[in-house]
Each structure stands twice: as C-alpha cells, then as structure tokens.
Structure 1
Amino acid sequence: MNETTWLVEIVIDEHDSDEGGSRTRAQARLRTRDTRTFVGSGLARRNPDDTEIPEIGEELATARALSDLAHQLIEATAADVETATHSRVHLTG
C-alpha cells in the first residue's frame, strides 16, 4: 500500500468591519508533492446585532476556504488529465 500525506495549513484573521460587527478571513494553503501550491480563501461576517462568538466565524470562514481549495484542486486535476490525454474531461461526483 502506498500512502501519501498532504498537510493543509489554515491561517485565520479577524478584524472589525467598517459596517460594524467583524469580518473573519481564512486561507487554506496546500503544497502538493509536485510542489504546486494552492490557496483557498473564505470569508465570514458577523452582524453587529449578533452575539460575538469568534469560533463561529472561524469555522465558517475555514469551511469556505476549504471549499474554495477543493474546487481549485478539481480544476487542476481536470487540466492535468486533459494535458495527459489530449481530450476534454468531464469530472463527475
């Protein structure tokens, strides 16, 4: 069995929003075995009327960053397959 490990680094920062409340930004960084780097980004905004619970913004921004990262990996994979096979790829499910 071959096993490969990829580590994703999540960097989160929060700052006050000009409209009130706060904004949380997360970046999910992945460096692949072939040394490509992908960075997914996600944002969350707390309404000024909502209770301040930083973990909620961090989780939501991180989920969105990971989703963005996943979409980038799917697109990169499709491009790699098209380059290798010289034909259009339709990735499903």
Structure 2
Amino acid sequence: MTATKQWSVTVDIDEQEDSTWAHVSLRTPAGMDVTGDGHAQRNPLDPSVPEIGDELAVSRALRNLAERMLHTAEKDIRGATGQPAHLHR
C-alpha cells in the first residue's frame, strides 16, 4: 500500500523576561491529539537573544512530543500483537 500523508504540528511560544515556554500539538487524521511542552531559561550572565530561547524551548517541546508518540506506538503495538513492545530511543 502506498500513501502520502501530511500531519501538522502547531507551535506556540510564550516569552516572559528570561524564560521561554513552548507548547506543541499534533492532531493525527485519526483524531489522536498529542502534545509536548518545553522550557528554556536564560542565564542572567548571557546576552539576551530571544531566538535562542525559542529554539531551545521548541526543540525540548518537540522532543517531549516525540517521546509521547513513541509511548503511544508501543501501546498500539501491544494492542495489535498482544506482545510487549520496547521501541529504541
């Protein structure tokens, strides 16, 4: 079976003072919602470069989302096969 699919991830970034929070959300075509969160805190001795905080917070949120997706896949494999699943990370 050949198929082309497109999934979209929404990224929300909130910057306050020296902290940046990111929230990412994914909704699959099957209706599954998965989210991830990330945070970055600027060292007061470092120069203020908001883009770096955005990059760190978003990358951490995406990593969190990816980990949750792997857990979901493990549960789905167990449900489909009746066997334990341990996916490589």
- TM-score > 0.5 by shorter chain: yes
User: Aligned match of 2:29 in 33, 42, 50?
Assistant: 33
- In 2, distance between residues paired with 1:81 and 1:72? 14
- In 2, distance between residues paired with 1:58 and 1:14? 8
Percent identity over the alignment is 39
User: Aligned match of 2:54 in 58, 61, 79?
Assistant: 58
Aligned alpha-carbon RMSD (Å) = 1.0
- In 1, distance between residues paired with 2:57 and 2:79? 33
**TM-score (normalizing by structure 2):** 0.93
Instruction: Tell me the number of residue pairs that the alignment of Structure 1 and Structure 2 aligns.
Output: 88
1:44 aligns with 2:40: yes
Moved over 4 A (4+): none
* Deviation readout 1:4-53 (Å, 9 max, x if unpaired): 0000010000112xxxxx11000111001111111100000011221110
Unaligned runs of 5+ in 1: 17-21
